[in-house]
Chains A and B, each alone.
Chain A
Amino acid sequence: MITRRVEECEEYIISGNNSLSFQGNILFIVLIGLISMTIAALFLLKGYWFILPFAGFEMILLAIVLLYCCHNNSLYEKIQIFDETVNISSKYRQNRGKFEVNKYWASVVLSKPKLKGHSHRLFIRYKGREMEVGVMLEDEERLKLARMLNDSLNKNGIG
């Protein structure tokens, strides 16, 4: 999902779609965990302890899955375009860090997929260094972002 804001600078935030907050996910895990473990504990009290490890394994799997979703939801890329500079900050798996470039010398590079069916890759390049952006987007959105960045950097006839 691309969110564009224009205030002090032109800002693009690229993030996943979080339809439930981290707290919401935790609440769900706790709620279903309480129910499941209560059931297992009641059977345990009667001596039928074999249900507990299965319930525990399942709750661990559920927690891993939902926390993985939360982790993915917390990933973002931020591109801020100021008058003179472009700041890119990213928190996406291997693609972490900050990259500050001079706006006039920054270029948007969209590389064609090498294999049929694969996606384009989008980079912002400056002085031979480059940083990939739009990693978490679908290909169509990535092309849209390329056009938007291109337009923004070209506003002053430079980019």
Chain B
Amino acid sequence: MSTVVKDTHHDEHPSGIMRWLTTTNHKDIGSLYLWFSLIMFFIGGLMALVIRSELFQPGLQFVDPQFFNSMTTMHALVMIFGVVMPAFTGLANWMIPIMIGGPDMALPRMNNYSFWIMPFAFSMLLSTLFMDGGAPAGGWTLYPPLSLQTGDAFPFLIFAIHFMGLSSIMGAINIVATILNMRAPGMTLMKMPLFVWTWLITAFLLIAVMPVLAGGVTMLLTDKFFGTSFFNAAGGGDPVMFQHIFWFFGHPEVYILILPSFGVVSAIIPTFARKPLFGYSSMVYATASIAFLSFIVWAHHMFTVGMPLAGEVFFMLATMLIAVPTGVKVFNWVTTMWRGAMTFETPMLFAIGFIVMFTIGGFSGLMLAITPADFQYHDTYFVVAHFHYVLVPGSVFAIMAAVYFWLPKWTGNMYPETLGKVHFWLSTFFVNLTFFPMHFVGLAGMPRRIPDYSLQFADYNMIASIGAFGFGFAQLIFVYLIFKTIRGGEKATDEVWEGAEGLEWTLSSPPPYHSFNTPPVIK
């Protein structure tokens, strides 16, 4: 009998550029998504600063109205599809296989493809800035007939959206297959961490609504280039139907952007409160309820198009219903903190900031849900304030909280805590300085998507612009801190945080290249 045993090379992998181009490792792909998202965050942020520079004072200062509208459109597309979605997909890639005790994603090769489609799609989108007729300027909602007036950029925009959608679909299907089929023995569905649950439901939403967006934008394309009249009233089509189609995708998309945040916060709060999450099952059911309700509220985005009274009442009440499961979540997070042995490290600060400011965004959402009130608020800066409160101190703060929470695990080094806290307080101060005054100018009647405005809105706009620049510069601390942590620092323990629980904390910091060679035992 012959037996040859030698040391294994478990942590060896290709090096250099080929490692990143050809990698099928979930951690590498997770890192790629997160870096991509960070780069796009600064590109989208620069567009926001162009907008805020122009709005610093009344009158036209820096850019012409067409370019201003291009900036609002591109800023939204970049931030939604290029920042928040890839960041959460990156977190999912990094954490889900580890959290469920799996060796990798279910389809690693497809995982690689789904990432590398993204830079291609965004190069196509950003290239429109240099085309005849300029970048798309009809708003990220692409309402016809306005969006059909886009110049050469139009087909590039549509195909970029198709590629982003394809990437999202491949990512979502991979996540579903991983969560369903790769869990370690004993990891039943109701034992999965909330982050995994929220991603399973998010992936479900993505799979359900992405074809609606793909079909909708394809019909725009055929209307423009192939003489169809899906949305052309002159040819018997219905432009309002595009709004229905878009928001049937768009409202679940809002939850695609926020549900993983709920998972992140549900991981962080119990760790720093040193208590188990209050009401785990109710959190799962609340997430599922929000996902279900997201399919039946789309028309609250278009109350002013004129719809039957019964329709308005239905969509108003259905929208208000969302406050119930969302309230359950906020209640559970607060109750988890109640009488906990709390400490306030940076991830916890961002998580608490999330709860407070996301709730502000939720309440302004409730105000917008009231149909007669919405008739007044529609297309004003109040709406801009509302969705920025949900997406910036909501989704973006949750992503930052997640990075601070898991960065020591990813790199093996602790980040500089004081600098992290400085980043949090500056971000919190400036984010409120930017977006809170928008409530006032909105209620006073300032319309959105305009480069110039009436004199009475000048003071609040100036404050908002100062806030935006402050917020932008504060993010440089975040970048510095990430590089500093990657390069070295105090060594992180395997558990990292005293109250941390979950499979990810049983691995070394940083974890081995291949996480669980043998499935862990779940009690």
Q: Which residues of B contact A85 (CB under 8 A)?
A: none
> What 0/1 pattern do residues 172 to 190 of B give for CB contact below 8 A with A?
0110110011111101000
Q: Which residues of B contact A111 (CB under 8 A)?
A: 4
| B216 contacts the other chain (CB 8 A) | yes
Is the pair A110, B4 in contact by a Cβ cutoff of 8 Å? yes
Q: How far is the CA of A70 from the CA of B514 in the complex (A)?
A: 22
| A87 contacts the other chain (CB 8 A) | no
> What 0/1 pattern do residues 1 to 37 of A give for CB contact below 8 A with B?
1000000000000000111100011001000100110
Report 29 cross-chain contacts, Cβ distance below 8 Å, ordered by A residue. Answer: A17-B183, A19-B182, A28-B180, A35-B208, A36-B211, A39-B209, A46-B241, A48-B245, A50-B215, A52-B215, A54-B211, A54-B218, A55-B215, A58-B169, A65-B110, A68-B107, A69-B181, A70-B181, A73-B181, A108-B3, A109-B4, A112-B4, A116-B9, A117-B14, A141-B518, A146-B3, A150-B1, A150-B3, A159-B1
Range of interface residues on chain A? Answer: 35 or more
Q: How far is the CA of A107 from the CA of B170 in the complex (A)?
A: 44
| Min CB gap B169→A, angstroms | 6
Q: Which 5 A-B pairs have the closest CB atoms?
A: A51-B215, A19-B183, A54-B211, A55-B211, A107-B1
Q: Which A54-75 residues sit within 8 Å CB-CB of chain B?
A: 54-55, 57-58, 61-62, 65-66, 68-70, 73
B residues engaging A (CB < 8 A)?
Answer: 1-6, 8-10, 12-14, 100, 102-103, 106-107, 110, 169-170, 173-174, 176-177, 180-185, 187, 204, 207-212, 214-216, 218-219, 222, 230, 241, 245, 248, 514, 517-519
Contact of A58 among B4, B184, B207, B219 (CB under 8 A): B207
Q: Which residues of B contact A25 (CB under 8 A)?
A: 180-181
Is the pair B211, A51 in contact by a Cβ cutoff of 8 Å? yes
Contact status of A110 and B5, CB under 8 A, knowing A48-B241, A52-B215 = yes
Contact of B181 among A19, A53, A109 (CB under 8 A): A19
Q: How far is the CA of A70 from the CA of B6 in the complex (A)?
A: 34
| Min CB gap A75→B, angstroms | 13
| A128 contacts the other chain (CB 8 A) | no
Is the pair B517, A140 in contact by a Cβ cutoff of 8 Å? yes
Q: How far is the CA of A146 from the CA of B106 in the complex (A)?
A: 26
Is the pair B518, A140 in contact by a Cβ cutoff of 8 Å? yes
Is the pair B218, A50 in contact by a Cβ cutoff of 8 Å? yes
Q: Which residues of B contact A112 (CB under 8 A)?
A: 4, 6
Q: How far is the CA of A56 from the CA of B103 in the complex (A)?
A: 31
| Min CB gap B113→A, angstroms | 12
Contact status of A109 and B2, CB under 8 A, knowing A32-B208, A65-B106, A73-B181 = yes
Q: How far is the CA of A121 from the CA of B490 in the complex (A)?
A: 40
| Min CB gap A28→B, angstroms | 6
Q: Which residues of B contact A57 (CB under 8 A)?
A: 211
| Min CB gap B207→A, angstroms | 6
Q: How far is the CA of A54 from the CA of B209 in the complex (A)?
A: 10
Contact of B519 among A1, A120, A140 (CB under 8 A): A1
Residue with the greatest number of chain A CB neighbours at <10 A, chosen from B110, B208, B241, B248: B208
Contact status of A120 and B8, CB under 8 A, knowing A1-B519, A39-B208 = yes
Contact of B103 among A47, A50, A51, A138 (CB under 8 A): A138
Q: Which residues of A contact B210 (CB under 8 A)?
A: 54, 58
Q: How far is the CA of A138 from the CA of B11 in the complex (A)?
A: 12
A residues engaging B (CB < 8 A)?
Answer: 1, 17-20, 24-25, 28, 32, 35-36, 39-40, 43, 46-48, 50-55, 57-58, 61-62, 65-66, 68-70, 73, 107-113, 116-120, 138-141, 143-144, 146, 150, 153-154, 159
Q: How far is the CA of A130 from the CA of B218 in the complex (A)?
A: 56
Query: Given A28-B176, A61-B173, list of 15 further CB < 8 A pairs?
Result: A17-B184, A25-B181, A32-B207, A39-B212, A43-B215, A47-B230, A48-B216, A51-B211, A53-B215, A54-B214, A57-B211, A65-B177, A73-B181, A112-B4, A150-B1
Q: How far is the CA of A38 from the CA of B49 in the complex (A)?
A: 43
Is the pair A108, B1 in contact by a Cβ cutoff of 8 Å? yes
Q: How far is the CA of A107 from the CA of B514 in the complex (A)?
A: 30
Contact of B12 among A43, A117, A120 (CB under 8 A): A117
| Min CB gap B520→A, angstroms | 11
Is the pair B10, A139 in contact by a Cβ cutoff of 8 Å? yes
Q: Which residues of A contact B110 (CB under 8 A)?
A: 65
Is the pair A19, B177 in contact by a Cβ cutoff of 8 Å? no
Is the pair A140, B219 in contact by a Cβ cutoff of 8 Å? no
Is the pair A65, B107 in contact by a Cβ cutoff of 8 Å? yes
| Min CB gap B227→A, angstroms | 15
Contact of A110 among B3, B183, B230, B241 (CB under 8 A): B3
Q: How far is the CA of A51 from the CA of B207 in the complex (A)?
A: 13
Is the pair A66, B1 in contact by a Cβ cutoff of 8 Å? no
| Min CB gap B212→A, angstroms | 6
Is the pair A141, B517 in contact by a Cβ cutoff of 8 Å? yes
Q: Which residues of A contact B4 (CB under 8 A)?
A: 109-112
Is the pair A138, B185 in contact by a Cβ cutoff of 8 Å? no
Q: How far is the CA of A17 from the CA of B516 in the complex (A)?
A: 12
Q: Which residues of A contact B173 (CB under 8 A)?
A: 61-62, 65
Is the pair A48, B180 in contact by a Cβ cutoff of 8 Å? no
| Min CB gap B262→A, angstroms | 21
Q: How far is the CA of A19 from the CA of B1 in the complex (A)?
A: 37
Q: Which residues of B contact A18 (CB under 8 A)?
A: 181
Q: How far is the CA of A62 from the CA of B518 in the complex (A)?
A: 27
Q: How far is the CA of A17 from the CA of B181 in the complex (A)?
A: 8
